[in-house]
Structure 1
Amino acid sequence: MKIYDFEVSTASGQTLQFKAFKNQPILIVNTATKCGLAPQFEGLEKLHQDYKEKGLVVLGFPCNQFAGQEPETNASMEEACKINHGVTFPLTEKIDVNGSGTHPIFKYLKQSLPGTLGKRIKWNFTKFLITPNGDPYKRYAPTTSPAKIEKDIKQLLNNAK
């Protein structure tokens, strides 16, 4: 199974098929607007702006499983991210990243790249970088700033040429 086999609904209810991102590195992040790590939205947006023309895809997967830190509806969450953090990268509908309702893409990512808690997501803003070939490349802790991921993104973009 590859990342390209998955699809998800966007916050506005449209279907987003991962096969549209073939040959592009993808940065997948579980997000929450009320999290103490929410300032990372700005760093994620900077990566999006700096590298989207070179092929990087940044995708936010809002999740309300950690201390209820994503209380917004899909529509209001997308608006809050735009107004408060300048987010223009795509956001999906709210999903679960742990437990019986885990979205299939997070089941796949956790299986491929286990973290500190094994096959569980520790907290909001856990990040997964996918190679342009669709292979899970690296998992980053919630506290890893987007700026610290930039060197890995550059490497994947350079290797894709």
Structure 2
Amino acid sequence: MIEVELRVNGTAHRVELDPRVSLLDALREQLGLTGTKKGCNQGACGACTVLVDGDRIAACLALAVQYGGREITTIEGVAHPLQRAFVRTDGLQCGYCTPGQICSALGMLAEADAGMPSAVTEHLAEPRVTLSSAEVRERMSGNLCRCGAYNGITDAIREVAGARPGVSS
């Protein structure tokens, strides 16, 4: 067992962990933060997406001990207009994937703000990324929704992106 300090949603937690425990399992089982969901447990569905220092990661593939001292944000620590936009645009149905979708979308918006291109970015040298529907779908392709709420998810992200300076939709 190893003692690790996990900073989650602005609060430091000292936990004793087996070094093989995933960040997902530590969040859910040690800290009781069950908003982050376990889907495939293989990094293929995105249900477990959280933010670490603002970057999105699949928590099921990350060892918790690697993230000591870093700022981890789970859905429980998110208060963002994107959440209301998901409701307004019908970007959720059963809700299982929604925490991962929202955390991923926040990370994706930060990537777009930084001018990071995707596989469908038309002009790679442009400092400003236009978040078209195709661009959002490509950037969110690591997050699956069994209910098929992709149109609402895309609309919610584009709505919020359009309201932000520096990123156009």
TM-score by length of 1: 0.28
